[in-house]
Structure 1
Amino acid sequence: MTKILFVITAADHWTLADGTRHPAGFWAEEAIGPYQVFKQAGYEIAAATPGGVPPTADALSLTPDFNGGEEGAQRMRTALHEATELAQPLRIEDVDINDYAAVFYPGGWGPMEDLPDNAASGKLLTEWLASGKPVSLVCHGPAALLATIGPDGTSPYTGYRLTGLSNA
């Protein structure tokens, strides 16, 4: 069976410019929506985080306000609970890209905390680009690209066009 790797933040907060810690994590819908699509299509899913730490869903992403009401929030919480692969991650350092067909980085504010300077994630993204396999980063997930460094000292993603949510 073909596998897709989800690289998920291990952060449970985001440190703001003034030093305050804002509760965060990965945005549940940005992981669960693609997870369900890939599973229905027959893909096997694995997850990796910095240090292999089980990821934290941003509590805000599990509230009725962001899920169309209490019923939607309960569906999201249930789906997250059932996505057991996401709760048992590998360490990013231990990932072999040859084991996977694609890599997917869900967003949320957490990736802004622990992925922009994560050397293992940067190395993984650099290798993935060179392999020609699909790379997908959603919402704040592209913050992980800040850790990519090519042989010439620049990001191998330089010149690529992408979109992301800045909250500017």
Structure 2
Amino acid sequence: MKYILFIVTSTDKTGTGKHPAGYEFSEIADPYFEFIHKGYTVDFASMLGGKPPYVGYNPSNETSKKFKEGRGFKRLNFSHKLEHINMSAYDAIFFPGGLGLMTDMVDNPLVKEIIKNVYETGKIIGAVCHGPAALLNVMLFDGSYLLEGKKINAFTRQEEEKDNHLLGDVIPFMLDEALVKQGAIFSHTEPFKPFVVNDKNLVTGQNPASAPGVALKMIDLLEKEEDS
């Protein structure tokens, strides 16, 4: 049995315009079912605990609707407070996207410490869309940035512009540029097309359409670990 921890934003407003924020609904729903179908256990932690805010729920999306009506969503709404989590219980962590994460995880010392320790112990880290913002400002034990020299992707400037995410008003910074500034080797595909990159024990996806692929690649890595 494998145990996956989803680490979720608790921020419900973004930018100077105070636009609605939170986690992107499908970026939890889609990976959740990939892990569950494999027989893995998924737990949820958020920055503040309790019921995290969300955006982007589409009732015509069958997977999202199934998640919202199921026990996974109920458990998510009683999420553990991140500071109370024993990380040694988990085989992998996953950061779903959503603009809220760009506010409450970029500089949070606990998030940085968790990512550093998970990475340094060789466990799997997944992130999708704006989720890779959590990987910013993580310093490894040797004093280097986690992102330095790593193949990474995330939501792109082109996608921000197509979504009318104005710098300042909606988003605090351009994520792709911030990742590159810390040494990431950034690649991408066309806006809103699925795209997943794997570099050792890091798995990142470009946008909501990439969320299932991130989960599947994480599963592939976890299964290889088990076989080795």
TM-score of the pair, normalised by structure 1: 0.83
Counterpart code for 2:108: N
Aligned residues of 2:11 and 2:104 also touching (Cα < 8 A):
yes
1:78-100 per-position Cα deviation (integer Å, ceiling 9, x unaligned): 41242123222222222222101
1:66 paired residue number = none
Counterpart code for 2:53: T
Aligned residues of 1:115 and 1:147 also touching (Cα < 8 A):
no
1:136 paired residue number = 126
Aligned residues of 1:50 and 1:91 also touching (Cα < 8 A):
yes
Residue of 71, 78, 84 corresponding to 2:60: 71
Counterparts of 2:113 and 2:69 in 1: how far apart (Å)? 30
Pick the structure with more helix per residue. 1
1:114-161 per-position Cα deviation (integer Å, ceiling 9, x unaligned): 111111111111111101011001000001112412345542332211
Structure 1 residues 157 and 117, CA, compared in 2 at 3 Å: closer, same or farther? same
Give the number of equivalent residue pairs. Answer: 156
Counterpart code for 2:7: V
Runs of 4+ in 1 over 6 A off after TM superposition: none
Counterparts of 1:36 and 1:77 in 2: how far apart (Å)? 12
Counterpart code for 1:137: A
1:96 paired residue number = 86
Aligned residues of 2:136 and 2:147 also touching (Cα < 8 A):
no
RMSD: 1.9
- Structure 1: 5+ residue stretches without partners: 64-69
Structure 1 residues 81 and 87, CA, compared in 2 at 3 Å: closer, same or farther? farther
Counterparts of 2:69 and 2:13 in 1: how far apart (Å)? 21
Partner of 1:38, secondary structure, is helix
Residue of 45, 48, 52 corresponding to 1:48: 45
